[in-house]
Structure 1
Amino acid sequence: MNPARWAAAGAALAVMLAGGCSSGSSADSSGRGPITWAMFKEPTGALTKIVDVWNRARPREKVRVVELPEAADAQRQQLVQNAQIKSDAFDVVTLDAVWTAEFAANRWVEPIDAKTLPTGAFLAPSLRTGEYRGRLYAVPWLTGAGLLYYRTDLLRKAGITRPPVTWAELTADCAKVRKIKDIGCYAGQYDKYEGLTVNFSEAVASAGGQVIDASGRPSLGTPEALRGLEFLVNGFKDGTIPRAAIGYQEENGRRDFEAGRLLFHRNWGYVYSTAGKTDGTSKVAGRFGVAPLPGLNGPGTSTLGGNNLAVSSFSRHRRTALDFLAYATGKEAEKTFGLASAYPMSLTALYSDADLVKAQPYLPTMLKSIQGARPRPQVVRYGDVTAAIQKDVYAALHGDAGPQQALARLQAELGPLTR
C-alpha cells in the first residue's frame, strides 16, 4: 500500500479528536513519533507482517508491539492499571469488544469522529462494539463469534453425516463415536476468567435466554437461563465435558483439540489456522470442520467477540497512532493479516474476497455466526459484572452451588452493578 495513502487516511483521522486533547500527558508539537501497540499474544505470527510493512515505510514513526498477558482478564487489568496512572507507555491499545463502555466512560481512550472513517465498510455488529453513547471510541479490527470445531473423520466413521445442531444431537454423536474411539466429547472455556463469561452467555442465549435484558437489567431468574447453565453443569457431571476442561482457556483447549483429545471444541476463528497446520504441530490437520454452535432446540447463539483498536488518551504521539489505526483497519492490511492468521476481520467485503475464502473456507460459516451473535453485557462496570459471573458460574460448574442457587445469587449481585 502506498504510504501516502496512509498519510491521507491519517490526516482525515487526525480530525477525529472530537473532544480535543484529554488531560493526562502533554503531547509534543507534532503529535508524531514512534508508538507502542499494546496487543494480546498473537500465536500465528501474522502480526509481524503488517507491522513490518508499516515500519519499513515510516522509519521515524515505527510501531513497537508490547504483548499483553495471554488471559483476557489479565490483559484488561494491565490496560486499566496503565490508564489509571495516566501512563503514556501505550499509544494504541487493543480492547476486547466489550470493554469500550468502561474505557470511554473513564476517558482512557479518545473519541473518534465517525465521519472520517468508512464506517459503512465494517460489519455492523462489529462497529457497534466500538461505540459508547452514540460516539465512536474504538475502530473494529478483529471480529468473530464462537464456532464448533469437530472431527470430520470420526463422525464419518460413526456414520454421522453432519455436525450437531442441538445439544441433544451433540451428546448422541459423542456416544456413537465413543463406541469406536476413547475421546473427550466437548469443551469450551471454563476456567474462572473472561472465557467463562463468554461460554455462559452463549449457553443462556442458546437456550433462548439472556444475561442482561434490553433494559440493561439482569434476567437470570428464567427457565431459559437455568437450562443454559444446566447444559454446562450436567456436561461436567455426565462426562460430556471432560473434567480437565474446568481449567480450560482458549489456548490449552485448542492444544487438546489439535492433539486429538476432543471430538468437539468451541473456540474462535484463529484455531482454523493453527489446527490446519501441516508442520506436525496439529494431529487433526485435514480432519476437522467448523459449524455454528448447537443450541437447545436448534442452532445456538454465539457471543460476539473481537478486538478493537483505540488511541490512548495519554499518548504523546496521537497523530501517528491515528495514522496507524487507519492503516491497520484498512482493506489491504486486514486482508494480509486475515490470509496469514485466519482471524476473522471486521470489513464486510473480506467475507466474499476470493483469495480469503479460498485460504480460509470457514469464513461463510463465521459470517453466519457473527450475524446471529450477541454481545456480552455492555455496561460501564463491566469488570465487576464479569467477575460476578465468573465467580457464581464457576461455583456451579465446580459443584459448590446448584444451578438455581448460583443464578439467584448472580441475579442479586448484578442488580446494583447495572443500575
Structure 2
Amino acid sequence: MTCHDRRAVRRGRIRSAAALGCLLTLLATACTGGPRDAEEAGREQAAEGPIVVASGLDVTGSGSVRQQLIEEWNRLHAGSRTRQAKLVELPGGADQQRSQLLGALQSGSARYDVVNLDITWIPEFAEAGLISPLPEAGTGAAADDDRDFIREVHATTVWKGRSYARPFNTDVGLLYYRPDLLTKADIEADKQPTANWTWDQLYSSVKTLGLNPVRRDERAGWTTQLKQYEGLTVNTVEAFADAGVELADSEGRYSSGAGELKKGLDRLLDRIERGRVQPAALTSDETASLTDFVEGRAVFLRHWPYAYGALGGRMDPAAYAVNRLPGKAVLGGQNLAVTADSRRGDDARELITFLTSRESERCLLDAGFAATRASVYGSAAQPCWPRVAAALRPAGDSPEAAATGEGGLEEQGANARATYIRILGAALTEAVQRPRTPYYGAFTQVLQSHVHALLAAERPDTAEAADELDDALRDVFAGR
C-alpha cells in the first residue's frame, strides 16, 4: 500500500469516527466539532446540579427561616437529585448585595437560578434583561393564587405591565412605643396610640412628656434611621408621601418639582423638630435606633416588623407595644425572580411557587418577617410547615406552640400577638412604594446626599435645598 493510500484510509477512518460521533449525539445537541459541544455539555451538567437561590442575610435572628424552607423543599423532593435546591447567602448590606448580583448576572460568573431581590431593584434587573418575566397567570387556580398576594405588595413585582417575580417577604414601617414611659407621665391609656393615631397626637404626647433632647444620652420623643443610607430614603419618602408628594409615575418618569419637594422636606423637618427626635438618629441605622429605644432614650420608634420579635428578647413584655405608623408608611421586602440565563427555568419557577405558598408565608410571619399573602393574616390561615415550625421554635417553647404555628414570638402573649398580626396586615394594605425606576441606585444616593446635608445644616433652607434636589432628580430619572 502506498503512502497516498494509507493517508486516504486514515482520512476515511477519521471521517467515519466523526460521523459516528455526530450520530450518537444528534438527539441531544448539534454536532459541530467545536467549542459549542463543550458549552452544551456544560449546560447539561449544570442542569443536574442544585437549583441555586441567591439571597441576602436573614435579619430576623429566627434560625434562618429561608434555609429551613429550602430544606423542606429538598425533603419533599428527596427522590430527585436534580430537584434539590441550595441557598447562597450574600454578605454585606443591601447596596453591596445589589452590586454582587449585578456583577454576577451580567458576567455569568455565578450560576444563580433564583435571586431574592429588594423590591426597588426589580425595574433595574428587568430593564437590563437579567431576570425573566413570569408566565401570565390567566384564569383559574393560578390567577386566584396571585390574587391572594396583598395588592400593593404584588405591584412591586411588575415593570411595564409584566410581572417579573413573586413576593417573598414584605416590610412596612411601624410605630413602636413605650407604654410604661407614657403612663409615668400620666398619659392615660385612652390617649396612647390607636389605629388612627396621627403625627400631631405624637407631637402632643412628646410635649406633655416635656422632652427636648440636646445630647445623645438624653431621652427623646422618637427615633428613626436618618444615617446616610437607605433608611434615610425610606423616612424621606414617607414624609413626602404624607405631604402628597409623588416623585415618579409608574413608568419611572419624574413627576415632581421644586415646590412639591419643599413641601416634603418641610414635613420631614417638622417630624424631627416637633417630634423632638433623638440627636443620634442622624447617624442611626436599624440596629442603633432599636438600641436607643430599648435603653429608654426614645419613647417612640419607627422601625420594621422584625423589631417586634427582637424586642421580645430584650425588654419586659409590658414595656413595649406596636401600632401602625402615623401617616404614610413605605413598603420594603424582597421578591423572588428567575434569572434570565437559568438552565432550570421550570424547576426554578416551581421552587418559587413553593417558597411563596400559603404555608411558607406563614412560616415567614412566624419567624419575624412580614408575609406577602392576605390570607396569612386571616383567622383561617394555613399553618407553617410542621418541620419548619419545629426548627424555628427556640429552646424552651412548648410543643403546643409549635403545633399552632406560632413559632417563637409569643413573649407578649397570644392576644398581643394576634393584635400585632392584625395591625401588620392592615398597615401593608395602605403602604406606599418608593419610586419605581431602573435608575433607583442613582436616585437613592442623590436623595440621601441632599437630604442628609439639609438635616445636618445649622439653619436648614428647604427652598434652596428643594431647588437643588429638583435639578438633581431630573437628571437621575432621565438616566443622566
Distance (whole Å) between structure 2 residues aligned to residue 389 and residue 343 of structure 1: 27
Distance (whole Å) between structure 2 residues aligned to residue 135 and residue 191 of structure 1: 35
Query: For residues 268-311 of structure 1, what are the alpha-carbon distances to aligned partners after superposition, in whole Å with 9 as ceiling and x for unaligned?
Result: 1111111123xxxx1253322222222xxxxx011122211111
Q: Percent identity?
A: 31
CA RMSD of aligned residues (A): 2.9
Unaligned stretches of 5+ in structure 2? 1-38, 381-403, 407-413
Query: For residues 99-119 of structure 1, what are the alpha-carbon distances to aligned partners after superposition, in whole Å with 9 as ceiling and x for unaligned?
Result: 111111101111111325621
Q: How far did residue 178 of structure 1 move? A: 4.9
Distance (whole Å) between structure 2 residues aligned to residue 32 and residue 332 of structure 1: 28
Q: 2:234 aligns with which of 180, 198, 203?
A: 198
Distance 1:416 1:250, change over 3 A: same
133-142 or 349-358: which moved more? 349-358
Counterpart AA for 1:105: E
Distance (whole Å) between structure 2 residues aligned to residue 302 and residue 365 of structure 1: 13
Distance 1:253 1:347, change over 3 A: same
Distance (whole Å) between structure 2 residues aligned to residue 84 and residue 273 of structure 1: 37
What residue in structure 1 maps to residue 151 of structure 2? 124
Q: How far did residue 128 of structure 1 move? A: 1.1
Distance (whole Å) between structure 2 residues aligned to residue 245 and residue 284 of structure 1: 24
Aligned partner of residue 176 in structure 2, secondary structure: strand
Q: How far did residue 234 of structure 1 move? A: 5.2
Aligned partner of residue 39 in structure 1, secondary structure: strand
Distance 1:321 1:123, change over 3 A: same
Aligned partner of residue 286 in structure 1, secondary structure: helix
Contact 1:27 1:315 in 2 (8 A): no
Distance 1:74 1:402, change over 3 A: farther
Q: How far did residue 231 of structure 1 move? A: 4.0
Q: How far did residue 180 of structure 1 move? A: 13
Distance (whole Å) between structure 2 residues aligned to residue 143 and residue 199 of structure 1: 17
Q: TM-score, normalised by structure 2?
A: 0.73
Counterpart AA for 2:224: G
Contact 1:149 1:266 in 2 (8 A): yes
Question: Which protein has greater RCO, CA pairs closer than 8 Å, 6+ apart?
Answer: 1
Contact 1:260 1:284 in 2 (8 A): no
Distance 1:393 1:179, change over 3 A: closer
Q: TM-score, normalised by structure 1?
A: 0.83
Contact 2:338 2:345 in 1 (8 A): yes
Q: 1:363 aligns with which of 421, 424, 436?
A: 421
122-131 or 248-257: which moved more? 248-257
Q: How far did residue 220 of structure 1 move? A: 4.1
Query: For residues 133-167 of structure 1, what are the alpha-carbon distances to aligned partners after superposition, in whole Å with 9 as ceiling and x for unaligned?
Result: 11110101112321111112222222323228333
What residue in structure 1 maps to residue 368 of structure 2? 342
- Taking the TM superposition and a 5 Å limit, the aligned residue runs for 1:99-114 are 99-114=121-136
Counterpart AA for 2:371: M
Q: How far did residue 377 of structure 1 move? A: 0.6
Contact 2:112 2:342 in 1 (8 A): yes
- Taking the TM superposition and a 5 Å limit, the aligned residue runs for 1:12-411 are 27-28=43-44, 31-42=47-58, 43-45=60-62, 46-59=65-78, 60=81, 61-115=83-137, 118-160=145-187, 161-163=191-193, 165-178=197-210, 183-212=219-248, 216-222=253-259, 225-233=261-269, 240-277=276-313, 282-294=314-326, 300-339=327-366, 341-353=367-379, 359-399=417-457, 402-411=461-470
Contact 1:145 1:302 in 2 (8 A): yes
Q: How far did residue 233 of structure 1 move? A: 3.4
Distance 1:47 1:363, change over 3 A: same
Aligned residues: 385
Distance 1:403 1:27, change over 3 A: farther
Distance 1:250 1:290, change over 3 A: same
Distance (whole Å) between structure 2 residues aligned to residue 196 and residue 180 of structure 1: 22
Aligned partner of residue 191 in structure 1, secondary structure: coil
Distance (whole Å) between structure 2 residues aligned to residue 256 and residue 89 of structure 1: 42
Counterpart AA for 1:222: G
Distance (whole Å) between structure 2 residues aligned to residue 407 and residue 320 of structure 1: 49
More helix by percentage: 2
Query: For residues 317-343 of structure 1, what are the alpha-carbon distances to aligned partners after superposition, in whole Å with 9 as ceiling and x for unaligned?
Result: 33432222011000111112211x232
Query: For residues 15-36 of structure 1, what are the alpha-carbon distances to aligned partners after superposition, in whole Å with 9 as ceiling and x for unaligned?
Result: xxxxxxxxx9974378453133
Larger Rg: 2
